[in-house]
Amino acid sequence: MILLPSLALLALQNPQPSPSALPPALRSEAALQQEAALRQEAVLQQEAARQQRAALQQEAARSAEKTWIPYDRVMMVVNQDIITERQLWRDLARTNRDHPLKDDSEKRAAQEQILTERVKARLSVQAGQDLGLDEKLVDRNVQDRMQRIIASKNGVASMSKFLEEKDMTLQEMRTVLREEIYSSVWQDSVTGDGGGGGGRPKNDRFVRPGLLGFHYNNVVLKPEAYAALGGKPESFVLQTLLLDGDRYGGTDAAMKLALELKKRIEGGEDMGALVEQYSVSIEKKGVSEPADLGSLTRFDARVGDFAAKAKAGDVSDVLPLQRTNKTYLRLVRLLDHTPAVKPDMTSAEVQAKITMSARKDLEDYRLGRALQVLLKASYVWPKELNQQ
C-alpha cells in the first residue's frame, strides 16, 4: 500500500487552486508557514512508510527461513490496554543500552521494573483520558511539540535519524507525545499544579510554616544533607597505612609490626614516610579526600566510630580487614576535622529550598495514593503486578 503525502490528499479533496500556486508575494506568512509544515509532514510520512516497508521486508525474510515463527504475545493487560513482548524487549534493549545488564538476575529485575512502571504509566494516561480533554486541543499540542522537536533536531533529516536511533516510528512518537499530555494533565490535577480538564486547581500546594519547620528539623538530624540547603556537613581527612599480612610473614607478625608502627607514629614519626615504606597503597601517602561521617560509616563502621570520637592527630587501634581470603591490617590517623555548618533557617534561600523539598514530598505522596486508588479499581494482569 502506497501512502500519499498530505499535500496530494488535499489536492484530491479540493480541486480549487492551491494557495501555493499563487506568487510568494501574494501569500501570507501564515500560509507559507502552513505550507512548510505540510511539506515536513509529507517527508516524515514518507520516511515512516519507508521504515514500515523495510520492517515488513525483514519479517518476510525471516518468515522465509522458517515456516512458523512466534510473532508476538501479550505480557501485560491494564484495563483496555495491553503491553506486548515486542514492546517489553524494546524497553529492555533501551535499558541495557543505557545501563548494561550483567546477568539474568539483573535482566529479570529490569523486566519487573519496566512492567511496574508500565502499569503506572498506563493508569495515569487512562486517568488523563477520562478527564474529557478537548481532542482538537490535544492534537494541536501534539503538533506543536512535534514542530519544536523537529526544530531542535535541525530539520526533518536529523529528526528521521533521531527516530531511527530511538527505534521509533513517526506514529509511535506522536503516540508518546499524546500520552505524555494526558498523563501530565492528570498528575497536575492530583498534585494541585493544574486543574485537570480545564477547571481550577482543587488541591492546596501551600507549605505551611509548621511543615517547613518539620522538614528543617529532619535535615538538621542528617548532617550529610546540609549541603543541599546551603550548609556544610562536617568533613574528615584521614591517613591510612595498610599492611598485607602475607607480605610480613603472616597475620601475627604483621600485627606485631602494626603495633610497633602505631607507637612510632604516636611518638611523632612521619606517617607519610611509613606509608611509603610499608603500606600496600602509597597514593598521596595514604591521605584521603574530605568525607562526611555518614560516608565513612558506610565504608566501615569502625572507621566512622573512630573519626567521630578522635581528635586531630589521633591514631586508631589496629583494624583488621578481610578481602578475598587475605587479611590486611590498617592504621588510621585523623588529620583534620571540619565542623558542620548548619543551614540558617532565617535565610530566604534556605526556606525556599525547604519549601521545594516539602512540596515535592507532598506531590509524591498524593500521586502514590492516587495511583493506589486507580490500581484497586482496575483490571491488571498478571495479578502480581497489581501488588506493586
* pLDDT greater than 50 at residue 8: no
The verdict on residue 360 lying in a domain is yes
Residue 187 belongs to some domain of the structure: no
CB atoms within 10 A of CB 32: 13
Name the pLDDT band for 376 (thresholds 50, 70, 90): very high
Same domain assignment for residues 264 and 297 = yes
Q: Which SS3 state, helix, strand or coil, does residue 196 take?
A: coil
Domain match, 263 and 217 both? no
182 pLDDT band, cuts 50/70/90, is very high
- Answer whether residue 373 is part of any domain: yes
Q: Are 276 and 360 members of one domain?
A: no
Global pTM value: 0.63
Least confident of 106-110, 184-188, 218-222, 345-349: 218-222
Residues 258 and 304 in one domain: yes
Coil, helix or strand at residue 277? helix
pLDDT, one tens digit per residue, over 262-293 is 999 999 999 999 999 999 888 999 999 999 88
- Residue 356 maps to a domain: yes
Q: Is 29 part of a structural domain of the chain? A: yes
Report which listed range, 43-47, 157-161, 227-231, 376-380, is most confident. 376-380
Q: Is residue 189 part of a domain?
A: no
Residues 263 and 328 in one domain: yes
Domain co-membership, 307 together with 367: no
The mean pLDDT value of the chain amounts to: 84
pLDDT-based confidence at 196, cuts 50/70/90?
A: confident
Check which CATH number belongs to the domain holding 285 and give it. Answer: 3.10.50.40
| Domain membership flag for residue 51 | yes
Q: How far apart are CA 120 and CA 122, in angstroms?
A: 6
What pLDDT shows up at residue 94? 84
Residues 96-124 pLDDT 10s: 888 888 888 988 999 899 999 999 999 99
Edge-first strand listing for the sheet containing 74-78: 81-84, 74-78, 380-381
Among 305, 321, 338, where does a domain finish?
Answer: 338
Bond into 339 cis (ω within 30): no
Q: Are 266 and 350 found together in one domain?
A: no
Pick the last residue of a domain from 29, 53, 69: 69
Task: Clarify whether residues 305 and 213 are in a common domain.
Answer: no
* Tally of domains within the chain: 3
Q: For 33-37, 142-146, 336-340, which range has the lowest pLDDT when averaged over its residues? A: 33-37
Q: Is the model's pLDDT at 5 over the cut of 60? A: no
H-helix segments, the chain: 6-13, 29-65, 85-98, 104-129, 135-152, 156-165, 170-191, 209-220, 251-266, 271-278, 293-299, 301-309, 348-376
Sheet holding 326-338, edge to edge: 235-244, 326-338, 319-323
pLDDT band for position 30 (50/70/90)? low
Same-domain check for residues 268 and 283: yes
Using an 8 Å Cβ cutoff, are 170 and 44 in contact? yes
Percentage of the chain lying above the pLDDT 70 cut: 88
Q: Which residue type, as a one-letter code, is found at position 69?
A: I
Instruction: Render pLDDT for 300-309 as a digit per residue (tens, 0 to 9).
Output: 999 999 999 9
Q: Are residues 241 and 319 in the same domain?
A: yes
Residue-number span of the structural domain to which 310 is assigned: 234-338
Distances (CA, A) of 249 to 21, 254, 259, 278, 314: 94, 7, 15, 13, 28
Task: Out of 29, 50, 69, pick the residue that ends a domain.
Answer: 69
Shared domain for 294 and 358, answered yes or no, is no
Indicate if the pLDDT at residue 211 is higher than 70: yes
263 and 330 both lie in a single domain:
yes
In a domain, 62, yes or no: yes
Indicate the range of 64-73, 114-123, 128-137, 161-170 predicted with least confidence. Answer: 64-73
